[in-house]
């Protein structure tokens, strides 16, 4: 994942600018991280989050890198207000001004969201995450993870091995088995020959 961090002078709160893809599955994966961030960061705005492929944005790093990196790498521009974010209280809203502590808290929320995202996509097996972390304050899927015996990483699982790779592995295993059997037979023959030589009469040995 690539995050290009920017400060915004116009809009409030934090939000993401992402890319738009014609591949619906790639686009769904691309929208997943901002959703997790909205669970963990109360100042994150899905309303201000936008996905586009405008020509005037081609020079941005998220657009440039998305064209060259693997399609599984998500590239975003993360915008955070210079001023603050809106806080709703009943029927009224107020603006909470950012300070150093608030920016640090947002950084922690981003880290929690990344953990959410990588657990949801099984790049990090949820069983590997300590229980204390799973039950922390983040309202995302990380706090609700349940061990179901199917939380293995998707990298190089049995189902991801191609047919050709399985064939090569099978051939190698068969060859290794044959080689082991051949060595065992040869060893047995040598032992039999030694025993036969030791059992010969003394005059036969001299002859």
Indicate if 79 belongs to the active site. yes
Integer Cα distance of 75 and 204 in angstroms: 86
DSSP at 200? S
Contact 14, 41 (CB under 8 A): yes
Exactly one of 79, 101, 102, 135 is catalytic; name it: 79
Integer Cα distance of 199 and 162 in angstroms: 56
Q: Which of 104, 152, 143, 106 is nearest to 125 (CA)?
A: 152
Contact 30, 21 (CB under 8 A): yes
Residues assigned a catalytic role: 79
């Amino acid at each position: 994942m690539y995050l290009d961090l920017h400060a915004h002078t116009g809009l409030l709160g934090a939000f993401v600018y992402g890319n738009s893809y014609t591949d619906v599955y790639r686009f769904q994966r691309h929208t997943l991280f901002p959703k997790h961030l909205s669970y963990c960061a109360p100042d994150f705005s899905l309303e201000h989050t936008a996905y586009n492929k405008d020509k005037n944005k081609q020079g941005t790093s998220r657009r440039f890198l998305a064209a060259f990196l693997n399609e599984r790498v998500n590239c975003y521009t993360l915008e955070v207000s210079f001023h603050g974010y809106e806080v709703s209280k009943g029927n009224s809203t107020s603006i909470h001004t950012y300070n150093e502590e608030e920016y640090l808290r947002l950084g922690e929320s981003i880290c929690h969201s990344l953990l959410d995202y990588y657990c949801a996509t099984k790049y990090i097996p949820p069983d590997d995450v300590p229980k204390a972390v799973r039950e922390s304050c983040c309202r995302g899927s990380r706090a609700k993870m349940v061990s179901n015996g199917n939380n293995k990483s998707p990298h190089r699982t049995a189902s991801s091995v191609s047919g050709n790779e399985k064939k090569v592995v099978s051939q190698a295993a068969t060859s290794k088995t044959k080689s082991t059997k051949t060595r065992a037979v040869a060893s047995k023959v040598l032992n039999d020959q030694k025993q036969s030589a030791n059992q010969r009469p003394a005059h036969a040995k001299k002859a």
